[in-house]
Every structure is written in structure tokens, then in C-alpha cells.
Amino acid sequence: MGQGSKGISRRGLLTGGAAIGAAGAAAAATVQHDGALGGPPQAIRGEVPWAEGAADAPVGASGTGYVYFTAAEQPMIEAMVDRLIPPDPTGPSASEAGVPFFIDRQLAGQYGQGQHFYLGGPWPKGTPEQGYQSRFNPAQLYRAALKAISDHVSKTNGGQTFQGLQPDAKDKLLKDLEAGQVELDGVDGKAFFTMLLQNTKEGYFSDPIYGGNKDMAAWKMIGFPGAHYDYREWVSRFNQRVPIAQVSFKGRPGWTER
């Protein structure tokens, strides 16, 4: 868009998308959105509308124990994510960073219920470009897949559990799931692996308010300062480390709420 144009710029349009959600929340202050639906559509002309405090505050994970995973599933999911992101001198493992807790809370909530997934039939095998294709919502997929994988491991390894396998055997099974080479009873192993890997990365690098990325360790590892309100002075400073202490939506150690 030219400099002389009176229309909104690309940056203004992107910023306006966020502001629309805030305006929608202000118009219906008693309604809490889940972050995916946003507010009602509006036409934006001229300056981008903005109102302080109009957006919903993130709903964080609470508690300490598991809510979704059963006692039998807990050591299995911990072992799985720790093969995807194992511990090393660079950073924590997935379980050390709280990834299983993050996934547990996601599956126990709206994501697990598939509230923004299309789950209606028919369910022919789709292409990778078509995304998730299943009658299961995420919580159902995890439950069915963990049971099927547990049965498969027991049957092919003399009654052994996944968490009891040697590291190389765990890695081979996960790679075979990724490649779609494991026949599981009633569930698509490749679809489960794809979701597990995505959820593991989300839990490892997301804001700690959601239960993962404990102590912002993943952000510290990659040098990401987190949820600061203003990065404008760093926009044009390429390949420079940002010397700002990490901060999450919840703040950081040493901060107090007003």
C-alpha cells in the first residue's frame, strides 16, 4: 500500500485484528472468550481502536497433580515426551519443563474436548494438507492411543511397558509411529504421534501460565525474553542478544501484584 494511501497499513491491519477482539470483549464484558473465537467482526477505518484492560486475561493452569491422565498413563506420557525432548546440558527435558502437566491441563479443557475441531463424518483418510481428520477429539485420541500403544508394547515385548523399554527401543517405536508403520487397534498411530509432538513443543515453549516451560527454562535456553509489552527498540537490531530478564504473563520472581 502506497505512502499516500488513506487505507490501513498491513501492520495496522494485523494490530487491528488483536484490537477487534479487545473491543468485542469490552462490548460483552461479562463473556469470557477462549482466545480462538475473538469478537464480532467490525470495519476498521482510520486509527486502530484500542482500550486498556478490555481483553480477557489468560486463564492459567492451576493445581499440582494430574487431572486427565490416569495413574497408568502418567509414567507412559512422561517417558514419551522425554524421548522427544531428553535432558542435556543445554536445557531441561520435557518432563523437567512440565510438559506432561501442560498436556494434561489442555486435554482436560476445551482443547481436549475439541471445541474448535470439526469432528463430523465422513472420516476417510485425508492428505497431510487437510490437517487433523478423526472422529476422536484430542482427549479421546490420547486415551485410545495410549491404551493401544501399551497393548502393542506388551504384546511384542513380553509384557513390558513403554516406560520400561530401553531408550533405543522407545525411540524406534516413536519413529515407527511417526512413519505410520505401527498398526494399532482402533486408532491412527501416526495422527497420535503428530499431535503428541506438537503438544510437546507447545508445552515446552509456551508461556508458563499454561503449566509448561517451568521457570521459563526453555525461554532462557533460546534467549527469548518472553511477554514484555514493548520490543520496538529491538525491531531493527538483528543478531543481538536481548539483555532483558524473562517475564511471563504471570510476571517474574521479584514482582508483586498491585
- This prediction's pTM: 0.77
CB–CB of 68/108 below 8 Å? yes
Within the chain, how many helices (H) and strands (E) appear?
8, 0
- Selection from 175, 172, 153 nearest residue 162 by Cα: 153
DSSP type of residue 48: P
Q: Report the alpha-carbon angle 109-228-35, nearest 5.
A: 25
**Amino acid 53: pLDDT:** 62
Cα-Cα-Cα-Cα torsion 46, 47, 51, 54, nearest 10 degrees, comes to: 60
Residue that has been written with the C-alpha cell 477505518 in this structure: 45
User: What is the Cα 112 distance to its own chain's centre?
Assistant: 12
DSSP designation for 58: P
Q: What angle do CA 256, 203, 254 make, to 5 degrees?
A: 15
Euclidean distance between CA atoms 221 and 249, whole angstroms: 18
CB 192 within 8 A of CB 84: no
Residue 248 DSSP code: B
pLDDT at 164: 97
For the chain, 258 residues long, give each residue's pLDDT as a single digit of tens.
Answer: 444 444 444 444 344 444 444 444 344 444 555 555 556 677 777 776 766 666 666 777 888 899 999 999 999 999 999 999 999 999 999 999 999 999 999 999 999 999 888 888 788 877 878 878 888 999 999 999 999 999 999 999 999 999 999 999 999 999 999 999 999 999 999 999 999 999 999 999 999 999 999 999 999 999 899 988 788 888 898 888 888 889 998 877 666 555
In terms of phi and psi (left: phi > 0; alpha: psi -120 to 50; beta: otherwise), the region of 211 is left
**DSSP characters for 106-160?**
HHTSHHHHTTTS---S------GGG----SS-HHHHHHHHHHHHHHHHHHHTTT-
